[in-house]
Amino acid sequence: MGPGPDAAYARIRAAIAVAAARVGRDPGDVEVVAVGKTVAPDRIRAAVAAGFRTIGENRVQEAASKFEAVNAGLDPRPTWHLVGPLQSNKARRAVTLFDVIETVDSIPLATRLDRLAAELRPGRPYPVLVQVNVDDDASKAGLAPAAVERQLAEILALPNLRVDGLMTVGRLVAAAAAARPTFVALRRLSERLRAREARLGAALSMGMTDDFEVAVEEGATIVRIGRAIFGDRPGPPGALR
């Protein structure tokens, strides 16, 4: 069991403020996604009450099982992000549940989401991020940076998607500072792409429990935090950070 959600919220926002101050950023520009994988709805609701207004889930099916229980009676309800891989056969359900899909990692998936967005929410472009496998890590999903360079224009041309920016899942490292090259590389890729593609948003989703302060220093606008809010959960080491 982790700290109470109020204490966790205060500590995480304070850490973001300190990290942002070191590089002259506004900490209000950093959104915290509270990753609720394996966490019961009542604990997620407590986190929302503490101030975490964005919930992340790794799997569509798990999100579906707790979506109504978390949202019930909340006005406004929290925003939901899909932060795990998305299989094409679950794309329809994902579009109905999630406000943002952070893990678009292929043109076929982007094309399917574009068609579903046109059908399910006409006239409202659907927000997504393009997932980049910055470190060429075979255990991670995402397009290689060179593939993003080649394929981004095709994704941006899809009329029913709004590509708000880029996302990456960093390597598991022994010290937070060791993650910095990954974050620097994603930021530089974003800057390079946005210099020629005005339709690409500036969002950078990078950094988790062990390294989010470094990510903020390097430009993260979204950090995905699980363990620092909800405590340790079952799974392989490093799976939920």
Tens of pLDDT, residues 123-176? 999 999 999 999 998 889 999 999 999 999 999 999 999 999 999 998 888 899
CA distance 126 to 92: 12
User: Which of 72, 67, 79 lies closest to 32, judged by CA?
Assistant: 79
Cβ contact 106:142 at 8 Å: no
Q: Is residue 18 part of a domain?
A: yes
Average pLDDT (102-110) is 98
Question: Of 174 and 65, which is predicted with more confidence?
Answer: 65
Q: Is residue 123 part of a domain?
A: yes
Q: Is residue 239 part of a domain?
A: no
Q: Is residue 234 part of a domain?
A: no
Query: pTM for the full model?
Result: 0.94
What is the number of structural domains in the chain? 1
CA distance 29 to 236: 32
Q: Is residue 155 part of a domain?
A: yes
Residue 240: predicted pLDDT: 42
Q: Is residue 150 part of a domain?
A: yes
Residue 90: predicted pLDDT: 97
Residue 73: predicted pLDDT: 96
Each residue's pLDDT tens digit, 161-206: 999 999 999 888 889 999 999 999 999 999 999 999 999 999 999 9
Q: What percent of the chain has pLDDT over 90?
A: 90
Whether a cis peptide bond, with omega within 30° of 0, leads into 76 is: yes
CA distance 55 to 179: 24
pLDDT interval class at 235 (50, 70, 90):
low
Which domain, by its residues, includes 185?
5-225
Domain containing residue 31: CATH number: 3.20.20.10
Q: Is residue 163 part of a domain?
A: yes
Q: Is residue 14 part of a domain?
A: yes
pLDDT interval class at 234 (50, 70, 90):
low
